[in-house]
C-alpha cells in the first residue's frame, strides 16, 4: 500500500458488471468515503485505462457513460447478458466471467490466506485479552467487557467461516494444471453455441449489418492465461466480449474453413442442413496429392439428376473472394442437308480411231500414277484414294492434320462407276465424293492418251452442299457480331469475351480441331458432311453468381434465374428449300468430346476452379494461364462486417475434369475464420498470445495445384488501450504445388496461386504493438508502480518529432500542446474546484541524454476538453491550461499558459522548480490549490518548492491531461488524484533564499482566566465572646486595652499558587511558532526517508546543504487548526469542510532546511471522550452519539517505546468549552504516522493543562504535566 499519511487515501472502485467507476477518498483510515473527481492507481486490470481518451478522436464519449459499443465494435458488451460464474475473490473483488489466470489466482489465494490469518489473530487476541480488550466509558466493568467482546468474537468467527468458504470456492474455481493440461481446456463451438471445458456457457447469435451470423459470448471479464488450451470450431464467426478488460496470453487458432472461413474450391452448393457443419475435417492433410473426400462435399456430379425439379440451388460456396463463377455449359451445333459432290472423267477419240495411252489425275498437289485409258472403276478408285490422300484412307484418322502440321488436304474416300462410250474405246467414270465435306476442290488431269482427237474431260455434275454465311449469339443481355459459320474455337472465345460484357471466361472446343484440314472427312471429331460443326462452350460469368458473405448465410437458398443462349441464323447452304439449322443445347451431352459428355449439367452452377488463390484483404495469386481471373478484395478497412476468408480455386482447368479424376483432385485451400474481441476498457495480448485466422494452403496434385485460401479477420476493439505483445496472423495459404510427372522437370505452369492476406483492425485510444507503437502510446505497465504498487500508466517516447521536423533548423511548426497524438486526457465530468492535484511521475534513463530539442512531457489542468481549444488553434488570447507542469531536463510550472510543443521560447514563460530531472526515479508532484485566494502551491516529494502562485479560473478544472513529446524517453504516471486537500492547508517550514524560515502556524491556546482561578484571600475575622472577655478589665478603650480585638490576620479562605499574572486581554490565544511544537529525533535505522536534494532549495539560496552519512531524521509535531474562515479555501464543494476542524500535523527533516510534509497524524474528528462516552458529533461515524465535542488537541508530544516498538503520542484532549482537559494517548508503527487513538482519560483523576515528556537513556519515560485545581483542607477547630 501507499504511505497513507502523506498520500490522498484515494479509492477507486470499478463495477465490472455495470462498467461504473467511482473515485472516493478517506480523510483517515476507517473514515467515510467521499466522492472525488478522480483517483486512479492502474492496479485493477479490469479497469485499465478507462476514461483516458484522446479528445479529438472519434471515440469521444462525453457524459453518456461506457455502455455504448467501443469504436469499431459491432456490439456493446451491455447488449448481452453476462455469462460465466461470479466467484468472490480477495477483499471485495470478484472473478466474474471467463477468468482463468493461475498467477492471478495464486495471488488472490495468497491475499485471502493473509486476510483469514488476520481474522484468526484477532479472534485469538480477543480470547486472550477478553477482560481488558475494551476500555471506554460504555464498558466500565469486566463483565460488560467480557459480554461485549464475546459478541465481537462470535461475529469474527462467523466472518472467518464465510471467508474460509469463499477461499474453498475460489481455489476450485479455476484449473490448476500447467502446460495446457486437459483440465485447463476450453472449446468454443460457434455452430452449437456451446462453450465447454473448465467453464460452460451458451452463447447467442447476432448479425452484422450484412446479416453475417456471429456467435457471441459476453462476459464481465475475460482473462485467459498461457496454461489454458483454447479450441475454436464451428461455422459462424466468433465474438468474445468483455464489460471490463480482456487479457489473453494463449493461442486461439481458428482452423481454416471454420469461424466464418469459406471452404476451398470443389463443392457447388451447400444444403441448408449442412450450413453449420464443416465441409472438410479440420485436420485434413493438405500434403496429399488427391484431397480427402469431405463429408460436406456437394460435387458437380449431383447435377446429373434428370429430374430438374430436384436440381440443387447452386451459389458461390467458396466466398466472395474466390475465383468462382457461374458456369454455363452449352453446345452449339450447325447442320444442313447433305448433297454429295459428283464429278465425271471422260476419255475419247475421233470416230474410227482406236484410243490408247493413259492419263494421270491430280488433286491439291497430289497425283495418281498413270492410269490406262480403259482402267476399271476399281482401279480408278484405288488410284485416287491411295494417291490423292496423305495416306491410305484406312489410316486417315491417324494423320496429324492439326492447324500447324504441313499435311495437305486429300480427296478423301470416293466411289467410282465406269461406263463405256463411243466407238473408239472411250470411258466415262463417275466419281462421288463419299467423305468430302461440302465443296472442297476439283480433280485435274494430265492427258497422256493416244489416238487422233483423243481427249480427257472432267465435269462436275453436282457441287455438293456446304454451310456458309454467319450466325450471331445473344446471351446475358448482349449480342455478338456476325460469326463465321466455320469460326475456330479460339476466334469464338475472343468474340464471346469481346462482345458479351458479362462473361469473365470462355473456353470453346470445336469439332474439326484441324481448322478446315478435314474437308476430306475421315477425321476424328471432324465437321459434318455439309460443313456443320459442334462447338462445346464453358462460359463463366459473375451475373447470377450469388456470393453470400458468410458460410451460414440464408443467401444460399436463393438462386438467380438462368440465362438462355439464343442464336440468330444467317447461314447459307439450303438444298431444296431445306436450310441450315443452329441448335443451342444446355449441357455437354452432345459435345464431340467424350469426357465432356460425361458431365451432365444442363443448368448453370457456381464453381471456383482454375487454381487462383482466394482474395480478401489482399488479392490472391493468379492461377493457371487462361483460368478464371482472381477475385477482387472485398470488405473494407473498417471491418464493417465480420467476414471470413475465401477459399482457393480448385486446381482444374475445366469443370468436366472433376468427373475424369473421380474426386476433388487439387482442392483449393479453405479461407481463414473471423474473430472479434471487444472490451469496454483495455485489451492486452500477452507474449504467448496467438490469434490466428490463416488461410489453408492449396492441395498439391499431378500437373496442377489448388489455390490457397485467403486469410481471415481479427478485429480488436477497446474503449481504452490495446497492448499487443504476441502474434496476430491472417496470412493467406500457399498455392498447391503442381507435381511433375515422372521424367518431367522444371514444370512452370499449373501451380496454384497463393491466398491473399486477411484483415486486421484495431480500435482503441492507444495501440501499442511491441516493440513498435502503432498509434498513440498509452498503456498500463504491469511491471512498474509508484509507492510500492505494481502498475502505472506508461506513455512511450514519441519519435514523431524527429521524423516530422528532420532538417528544420530555423523554424518549427506551431502545434498545440497535447494534440490528438500527444497524450490522453481525463474528463472530470464538468468544472471542479479540487484542493489537491497529485500524481507520481518517472522518466526513463533515455531521458538523461535527451537532445536539447526534445520537448519532454507536459501535465495540464484545463478548464475544458482539448477539442474545445482545437476549434480555435490560432487564438493568441486563449490559454491551454489553468496550471501546467512541464517535465523535461528540468521541471517547470506555469499558470494560465498557452503551450506550443517544441517551442522553447514559450517555455521561458514557465518557472523552474527542479533544475535537473533524474531518470528512473519516482517523483511525487502535489499541487495544492486555494480557490479563495486563487493561489497554488507545489510540493515535490512532499517538500514545498512553489508557494502561493496566482492563477485565474472562471469555473474550475475539467480535464487532467498528459502528453509525452520526448523522442527518446518514456514516462510513467501513477496514483493520480484530483480531490480534497485533507491536510487543511497545512504547510511545513519553508526556507527562503535568504535563509529565513517561514512557517504559517495557527494560534495556540493560552490559559483561560477561569482555569487559573482568583487571587488568595482570608476568612473574615470574628470575635468569640466569653465570660472573661466580658469583664470590665477587657472592655477598656483600645489604647488601654489589655487584649486587642481581631489582631493578626484571618485564616486562609483560598490560596492561589500563581505568583505572576498578566492582563486579562493577553490570556487569549497567541501566535504559534515552530518552537511551540515538539521535535523527535529518529535514528537512521528507525526511519529512512528519501534524500532531499539541494535542488529543492531556491536557486539563489546562500545556505549550504551537505550530505555525508545517512543523517538522523527529525520529526516535528504540532496541532493544526482549520478555522471556519480558512476551510473553504482548501476544500472542494463536495467536501463537508466543517468536519475537518484540524489535527496533529508533522514535518520531517534531516537538515532543518528542507522539510517534508508528512501530513496529518491524527484528525480531531477521531477524538472521543472515553470517560463520559461522547463522540465528536459528525457523520464520519454512523453510530455517533450526543457528545460534548467537537474536540481538539493541544501540545502533542511523541516518543519511542522500546518495549513495544511503537511510537506513542501524548496530548491534551479538550473541547471548545475548555471544560475537559483530558490527556490522550495515540500510537503508531511509524514516526510519521498515522496515529491511532488509544484512549482519552484523566491520569490519577486530574486534568491536564500543560504537558511534556521526558525519556531516560534506558527508555524509561515520564509524563510531566500541570493543571489548576482547588484542594479543600480541613482545619482543626
pLDDT tens-digit series, residues 1237-1264: 988 999 888 888 888 999 999 989 999 9
In whole angstroms, give the CA distance from residue 569 to residue 471: 5
pLDDT tens by residue, 1098-1138: 333 333 334 345 678 999 999 988 765 554 444 433 344 44
* Cell representation of residue 555: 443467401
pLDDT in tens, 32-84: 888 999 999 999 999 999 888 875 444 444 434 566 889 999 999 999 999 99
Which of 281-295, 450-464, 717-731, 994-1008 has the least mean pLDDT? Answer: 281-295
* Contact between 817 and 858 (Cβ < 8 Å): yes
Inter-residue contact 1110 to 1080 (CB < 8 Å): no
Q: Could you count the other beta carbons within 10 Å of the beta carbon of residue 194?
A: 15
Distance CA 281, CA 947 (A): 74
Strand, helix or coil at 463? strand
Give residue 515's pLDDT band: very low, low, confident or very high (50, 70, 90). low
Lowest mean pLDDT among 585-589, 945-949, 989-993, 1115-1119: 989-993
Residue 1017: per-residue pLDDT: 81
How far apart are the C-alpha atoms of 873 and 900, rounded to whole Å? Answer: 10
* Residue 722 confidence (pLDDT): 93
Q: What CA–CA distance (Å, rounded) separates 574 from 338?
A: 10
Name the band, by pLDDT with cuts 50, 70 and 90, for residue 1218. Answer: confident
Q: Distance (Å, rounded) from C-alpha 447 to C-alpha 345?
A: 12
* DSSP per residue, 550-613: STT-GGGG--PPPPPPEEEEEEE--BTTB--EEEEEESSTT-S-HHHHT----S-EEEEBSSPP
Q: Out of 13-22, 387-396, 454-463, give the one with best mean pLDDT.
A: 454-463
Residue 967 has pLDDT above 80, yes or no: no
- CB-based burial of residue 992 (10 Å sphere; 0-12 exposed, 13-18 middle, 19+ buried)? middle
Among the listed ranges 333-337, 1062-1066, 1139-1143, which one has the minimum average pLDDT value? 1062-1066
Query: How confident is the model at residue 633, as a pLDDT?
Result: 96
pLDDT exceeds cutoff 60 at 858: yes
Spatial distance between the Cα atoms of 804 and 817, rounded to a whole number of angstroms: 16
Q: Angle of helix 142-171 relative to helix 102-128, nearest 10 degrees? A: 160
**pLDDT number for residue 1062:** 58
Cis? peptide before 635, omega within 30° of 0:
no
pLDDT above 50 for 1041: yes
Q: What is the mean pLDDT of residues 863-880?
A: 64
Could you check whether the bond before residue 1017 is cis, i.e. omega within 30 degrees of 0? no
Characterize the bridge pairing of strands 246-248 and 221-224. Answer: parallel
**How confident is residue 847, by pLDDT bands cut at 50, 70 and 90?**
low
pLDDT at position 536 over 60: yes
DSSP state of 28: S
Question: What are the angstrom distances between the C-alpha of 909 and each of 878, 892, 898?
Answer: 15, 9, 10
363 Cβ partners below 8 Å, 6+ apart?
384, 388, 410, 411, 441, 442, 443, 444
Do the Cβ atoms of 542 and 504 come closer than 8 Å?
yes
Alpha helices in 793-939, H assignment, sequence order? 800-804, 866-870, 904-907
| pLDDT, averaged across the chain | 83
Q: Which three cell numbers stand for residue 1137?
A: 469542510
What percent helix, strand, coil does the chain show, rounded to 5? 15, 35, 55
Q: Looking at residue 66, what is its pLDDT? A: 60
> According to the model, what pLDDT value does residue 495 have?
97
Supply the pLDDT for residue 902.
65
- The mean per-residue pLDDT over the stretch 422-428 comes to 91
| Residue 977: pLDDT over 50 | yes
Residue 610 region, left (φ>0) first, then alpha (ψ -120 to 50), else beta? left
Predicted local confidence at residue 1263, as pLDDT: 93
Beta strands in 30-85 (DSSP E): 33-35, 38-40, 52-53
The residue with cell 481446456 is 185
Greater confidence (1222 vs 1130) lies with 1222
Residue 871, pLDDT > 80, answer: no
Per-residue pLDDT tens for 95-122? Answer: 999 999 999 999 999 999 999 999 999 9
> Which strand (E) or helix (H) includes residue 792?
strand 792-795
Terminal-to-terminal C-alpha distance of the chain: 70
Give buried/exposed letters for 336-361 (b at 16+ CB in 10 A, else e): bbebbbbbbbbbbbeeebebebbbbb
The whole-angstrom separation of Cα 588 and Cα 596 is 6
- Residue by residue, what is the 3-state secondary structure of 740-780? CCCCCCCCCCCCCCCCCCCEEEEECCEEEECCEEEECCEEE
Q: Is the pLDDT of residue 1079 over 60?
A: yes
Q: Using CA atoms, how far apart are residues 129 and 126, in angstroms rounded to an integer?
A: 5
Q: Residue 26, Cβ neighbours under 10 Å: how many?
A: 17
Give the three-class secondary structure for 1148. strand
Classify residue 945 by burial, with Cβ atoms within 10 Å: 0-12, 13-18, 19+. Answer: buried
Find the range with the poorest average confidence among 144-148, 208-212, 747-751. 747-751
Cell numbers placing 117: 490469518
Return the closest-CA partner of residue 430 out of 422, 421, 438: 421
| pLDDT at residue 1090 greater than cutoff 60 | no
Residue 1065's contacts (CB-CB under 8 Å, 6 or more residues apart) are none
Cis, peptide link before residue 829, omega less than 30° from 0: no
pLDDT higher than threshold 50 for residue 811: no
How open is the CA angle 1230-1233-1238, to the nearest 5 degrees?
95
CA distances to 42, 87, 130, 335, 686 from 105, in Å: 19, 11, 37, 84, 17
Grid cell at residue 1161: 497524524
CA–CA gap between residue 1144 and residue 1235 (Å, rounded):
9
How many helices (H) and strands (E) in the chain? Answer: 11, 74
| Cβ neighbours, 10 Å, residue 308 | 9
Q: Where are the alpha helices (DSSP H) in 733-876?
A: 800-804, 866-870
More confident residue, 982 or 130: 982
Measured CA to CA, the distance from residue 439 to residue 433 in angstroms comes to: 10
Give percent of the chain with pLDDT exceeding 70: 81
Contact between residue 635 and residue 617 where contact means Cβ atoms under 8 Å apart: yes
Give the Cα-Cα-Cα angle 694, 696, 701 (nearest 5 degrees). 160
- Quote the cell numbers at residue 482: 456476325
- What pTM, to 2 d.p., does this model score? 0.83
Query: Which of 296-310, 485-499, 648-662: highest mean pLDDT?
Result: 485-499
Which cell numbers in the block locate residue 842?
518517472
Does the pLDDT of residue 599 top 50, yes or no? Answer: yes
**pLDDT beyond 50 at 286:** no
> Sign of the CA dihedral 859, 861, 863, 865?
positive
* pLDDT, position 307: 63
Q: Pick the closest to residue 396 from 519, 224, 571 (CA basis).
A: 519
Report the alpha-carbon distance of residue 956 to residue 1010 in Å, rounded.
48
Distances (CA, A) of 203 to 209, 228, 257, 881: 19, 20, 20, 48
- Cell numbers for 631, please give them: 477475385
- Cell, residue 850: 535527451
Rounded Cα distance between 775 and 452, Å, is: 110
Q: 328: closest CA among 552, 599, 717? A: 599
**Tens-digit pLDDT profile for residues 1166-1197:** 888 888 775 444 433 334 443 467 888 999 99
pLDDT band at 1092 (very low <50, low <70, confident <90, very high): very low
CA distance 963 to 365: 94
Strands 246-248 and 683-685: parallel
**Other beta carbons within 10 Å of 729:** 18
Q: What is the pLDDT of residues 428-439, one digit of tens each?
A: 999 999 888 776
CB 828 within 8 A of CB 37: yes
The mean pLDDT value for 804-821 works out to 35
Give the separation between CA 619 and CA 1086, rounded to whole angstroms: 71
Residue 82: what pLDDT? 93
CB 1 within 8 A of CB 788: yes
Amino acid at each position: 500500500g501507499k504511505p497513507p499519511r502523506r498520500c490522498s487515501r484515494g479509492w477507486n472502485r470499478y463495477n465490472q458488471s455495470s462498467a461504473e467507476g467511482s473515485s472516493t477518498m478517506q480523510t483517515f483510515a476507517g473514515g467515510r468515503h467521499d466522492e472525488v473527481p478522480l483517483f486512479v492507481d492502474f492496479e485493477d486490470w479490469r479497469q485499465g485505462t478507462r476514461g483516458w481518451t484522446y479528445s479529438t478522436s472519434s471515440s469521444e464519449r462525453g457524459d453518456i457513460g461506457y455502455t455504448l459499443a467501443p469504436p469499431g465494435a459491432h456490439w456493446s458488451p451491455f447488449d448481452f447478458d453476462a455469462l460465466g460464474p461470479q466467484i468472490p475473490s480477495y477483499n471485495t473483488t470478484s472473478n466474474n466471467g471467463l477468468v482463468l489466470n493461475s498467477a492471478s489466482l495464486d495471488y488472490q489465494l495468497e491475499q485471502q490466506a493473509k486476510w483469514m490469518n488476520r481474522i484468526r489473530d484477532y479472534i485469538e487476541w480477543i480470547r486472550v485479552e477478553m477482560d481488558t480488550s475494551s476500555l471506554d466509558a460504555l464498558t466500565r466493568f469486566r463483565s460488560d467487557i467480557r459480554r461485549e467482546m464475546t459478541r465481537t468474537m462470535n461475529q469474527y468467527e462467523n466472518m472467518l467461516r464465510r471467508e474460509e468458504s469463499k477461499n474453498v470456492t475460489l481455489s476450485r474455481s479455476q484449473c490448476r494444471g500447467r502446460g495446457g493440461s486437459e483440465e485447463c481446456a476450453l472449446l468454443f463451438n460457434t455452430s452449437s453455441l456451446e462453450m465447454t471445458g473448465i467453464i460452460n456457457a451458451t452463447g447467442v447469435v447476432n448479425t452484422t449489418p450484412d446479416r453475417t451470423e456471429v456467435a457471441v459470448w459476453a462476459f464481465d471479464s475475460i482473462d485467459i492465461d498461457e496454461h489454458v488450451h483454447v479450441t475454436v470450431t464451428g461455422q459462424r464467426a466468433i465474438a468474445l466480449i468483455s464489460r471490463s478488460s480482456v487479457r489473453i496470453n494463449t493461442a486461439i487458432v481458428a482452423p481454416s474453413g471454420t469461424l466464418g472461413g469459406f471452404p476451398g474450391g470443389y463443392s457447388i452448393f451447400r444444403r441448408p442442413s449442412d450450413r453449420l457443419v464443416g465441409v472438410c475435417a479440420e485436420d485434413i492433410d493438405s500434403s496429399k496429392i488427391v484431397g480427402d473426400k469431405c463429408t460436406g462435399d456437394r460435387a458437380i456430379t449431383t447435377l446429373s439428376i434428370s429430374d430438374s425439379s430436384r436440381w440443387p440451388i447452386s451459389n458461390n460456396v467458396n466466398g466472395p473472394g474466390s475465383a468462382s463463377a457461374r458456369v454455363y455449359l452449352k453446345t452449339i451445333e450447325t447442320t444442313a442437308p447433305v448433297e454429295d459432290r459428283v464429278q465425271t472423267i471422260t476419255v475419247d477419240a475421233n470416230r474410227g480411231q482406236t484410243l490408247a495411252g493413259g492419263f494421270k489425275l491430280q488433286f491439291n498437289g497430289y497425283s495418281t500414277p498413270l492410269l490406262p485409258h480403259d482402267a476399271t472403276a476399281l482401279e480408278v478408285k484405288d488410284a485416287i484414294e491411295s494417291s490423292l490422300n496423305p495416306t491410305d484412307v484406312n489410316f486417315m484418322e491417324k494423320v496429324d492434320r492439326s492447324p500447324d502440321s504441313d499435311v495437305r488436304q486429300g480427296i478423301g474416300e470416293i466411289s467410282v462407276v465406269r461406263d463405256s462410250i463411243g466407238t473408239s474405246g472411250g470411258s466415262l467414270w463417275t466419281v462421288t465424293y463419299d467423305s468430302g465435306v461440302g465443296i472442297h476442290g476439283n480433280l485435274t488431269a494430265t492427258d497422256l492418251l493416244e489416238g487422233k482427237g483423243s481427249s480427257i474431260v472432267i465435269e462436275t455434275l453436282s457441287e455438293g452442299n456446304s454451310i456458309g454465311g454467319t450466325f450471331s449469339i445473344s446471351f446475358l443481355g448482349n449480342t455478338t457480331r456476325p460469326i463465321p459459320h466455320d469460326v475456330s474455337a479460339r476466334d469464338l472465345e475472343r468474340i464471346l469475351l469481346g462482345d458479351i460484357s458479362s462473361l469473365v471466361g470462355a473456353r470453346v472446343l470445336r469439332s474439326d480441331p484441324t481448322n478446315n484440314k478435314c474437308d476430306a472427312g475421315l477425321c476424328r471429331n471432324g465437321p459434318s458432311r455439309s460443313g456443320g460443326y459442334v462447338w462445346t462452350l464453358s462460359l463463366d460469368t459473375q451475373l447470377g453468381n450469388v456470393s453470400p458473405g458468410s458460410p451460414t448465410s440464408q443467401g444460399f437458398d436463393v438462386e438467380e434465374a438462368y440465362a438462355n443462349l439464343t442464336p440468330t441464323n444467317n447461314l447459307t447452304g439450303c438444298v431444296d428449300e431445306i436450310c441450315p439449322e443452329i441448335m443451342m443445347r444446355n449441357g455437354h451431352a452432345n459435345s464431340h468430346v467424350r469426357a465432356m459428355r460425361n458431365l451432365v449439367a444442363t443448368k448453370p452452377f457456381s464453381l471456383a476452379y482454375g487454381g487462383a488463390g482466394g482474395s480478401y484483404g489482399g488479392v490472391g495469386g493468379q492461377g493457371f494461364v487462361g483460368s478464371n481471373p482472381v477475385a477482387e478484395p472485398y470488405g473494407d478497412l473498417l471491418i464493417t462486417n465480420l467476414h471470413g476468408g475465401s477459399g482457393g480455386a480448385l486446381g482444374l482447368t475445366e469443370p468436366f475434369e472433376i468427373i475424369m479424376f473421380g474426386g476433388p483432385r487439387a482442392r483449393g485451400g479453405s479461407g481463414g475464420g473471423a474473430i472479434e474481441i471487444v472490451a469496454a476498457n483495455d485489451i492486452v495480448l500477452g507474449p504467448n498470445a496467438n490469434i490466428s485466422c490463416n488461410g489453408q494452403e492449396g492441395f498439391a496434385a499431378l500437373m496442377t495445384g489448388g489455390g490457397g485460401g485467403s486469410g481471415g479477420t481479427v478485429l480488436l476493439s477497446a474503449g481504452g488501450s490495446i497492448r499487443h505483445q504476441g502474434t496476430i496472423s491472417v496470412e493467406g495459404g500457399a498455392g498447391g504445388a503442381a507435381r511433375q510427372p515422372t521424367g518431367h522437370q522444371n514444370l512452370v505452369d499449373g501451380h496454384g496461386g497463393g491466398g491473399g492476406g486477411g484483415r486486421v483492425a484495431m480500435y482503441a485510444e492507444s495501440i501499442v504493438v511491441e516493440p513498435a507503437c502503432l498509434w498513440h502510446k498509452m498503456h498500463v505497465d504491469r511491471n512498474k508502480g509508484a509507492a510500492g504498487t505494481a502498475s502505472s500508466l506508461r506513455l512511450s517516447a514519441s519519435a514523431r518529432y524527429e521524423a516530422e521536423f528532420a532538417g528544420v533548423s530555423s523554424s518549427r511548426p506551431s502545434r498545440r500542446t497535447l494534440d490528438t497524438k500527444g497524450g490522453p486526457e481525463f474528463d472530470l465530468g464538468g468544472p471542479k474546484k479540487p484542493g489537491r492535484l497529485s500524481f507520481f511521475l518517472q522518466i526513463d534513463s533515455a531521458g538523461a541524454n535527451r537532445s536539447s530539442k526534445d520537448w519532454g512531457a507536459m501535465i495540464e489542468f484545463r478548464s475544458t476538453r482539448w477539442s474545445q481549444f482545437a476549434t480555435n488553434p490560432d487564438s493568441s488570447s486563449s490559454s491551454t491550461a489553468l496550471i501546467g507542469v512541464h517535465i523535461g531536463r528540468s521541471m517547470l510550472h506555469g499558470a494560465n499558459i498557452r503551450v506550443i510543443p517544441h517551442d522553447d521560447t514559450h517555455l521561458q514563460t514557465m518557472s523552474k522548480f527542479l533544475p535537473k530531472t533524474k531518470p528512473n526515479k519516482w517523483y511525487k508532484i502535489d499541487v495544492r490549490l486555494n480557490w479563495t485566494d486563487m493561489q497554488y502551491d507545489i510540493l515535490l516529494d512532499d517538500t514545498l518548492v512553489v508557494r502561493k502562485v496566482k492563477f485565474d479560473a472562471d469555473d474550475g478544472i475539467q480535464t487532467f491531461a498528459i502528453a509525452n513529446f520526448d523522442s527518446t524517453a518514456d514516462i510513467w504516471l501513477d496514483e493520480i488524484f484530483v480531490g480534497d486537500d485533507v491536510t487543511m492547508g497545512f504547510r511545513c517550514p519553508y526556507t527562503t533564499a535568504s535563509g529565513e524560515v517561514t512557517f504559517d502556524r495557527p494560534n495556540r491556546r493560552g490559559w483561560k482566566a477561569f482555569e487559573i482561578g482568583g487571587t488568595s484571600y482570608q476568612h473574615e475575622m470574628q470575635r468569640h465572646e466569653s465570660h472573661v472577655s466580658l469583664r470590665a478589665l477587657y472592655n477598656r478603650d483600645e489604647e488601654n486595652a489589655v487584649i486587642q480585638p481581631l489582631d493578626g490576620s484571618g485564616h486562609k479562605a483560598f490560596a492561589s499558587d500563581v505568583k505572576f499574572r498578566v492582563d486579562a486581554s493577553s490570556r487569549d490565544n497567541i501566535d504559534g511558532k515552530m518552537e511551540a511544537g515538539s521535535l523527535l529525533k529518529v535514528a537512521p535505522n528507525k526511519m529512512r526517508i528519501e534524500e532531499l536534494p539541494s535542488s529543492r532549495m531556491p536557486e539563489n539560496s546562500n545556505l549550504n546543504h551537505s550530505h555525508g552519512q545517512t543523517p538522523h531524521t527529525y520529526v516535528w509535531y504540532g496541532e493544526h487548526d482549520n478555522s471556519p474562515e480558512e476551510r473553504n479555501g482548501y476544500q472542494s464543494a463536495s467536501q463537508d469542510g466543517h468536519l475537518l476542524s484540524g489535527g496533529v500535523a508533522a514535518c520531517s527533516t534531516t537538515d532543518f532546511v528542507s522539510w517534508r510534509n508528512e501530513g496529518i497524524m491524527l484528525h480531531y474528528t477521531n477524538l472521543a471522550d472515553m470517560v463520559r462516552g461522547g463522540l465528536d458529533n459528525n457523520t464520519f461515524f454512523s453510530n455517533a452519539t450526543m457528545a460534548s465535542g467537537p474536540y481538539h488537541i493541544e501540545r502533542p508530544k511523541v516518543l519511542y517505546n522500546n518495549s513495544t516498538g511503537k511510537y506513542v503520542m501524548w496530548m491534551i484532549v479538550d473541547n471548545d468549552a475548555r471544560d475537559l482537559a483530558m490527556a490522550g494517548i495515540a500510537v503508531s508503527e511509524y514516526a510519521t504516522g498515522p496515529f491511532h487513538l488509544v484512549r482519552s482519560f484523566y491520569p490519577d483523576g486530574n486534568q491536564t493543562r500543560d504537558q511534556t515528556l521526558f525519556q531516560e537513556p534506558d527508555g524509561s519515560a515520564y509524563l510531566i504535566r500541570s493543571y489548576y485545581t482547588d484542594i479543600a483542607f480541613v482545619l482543626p477547630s
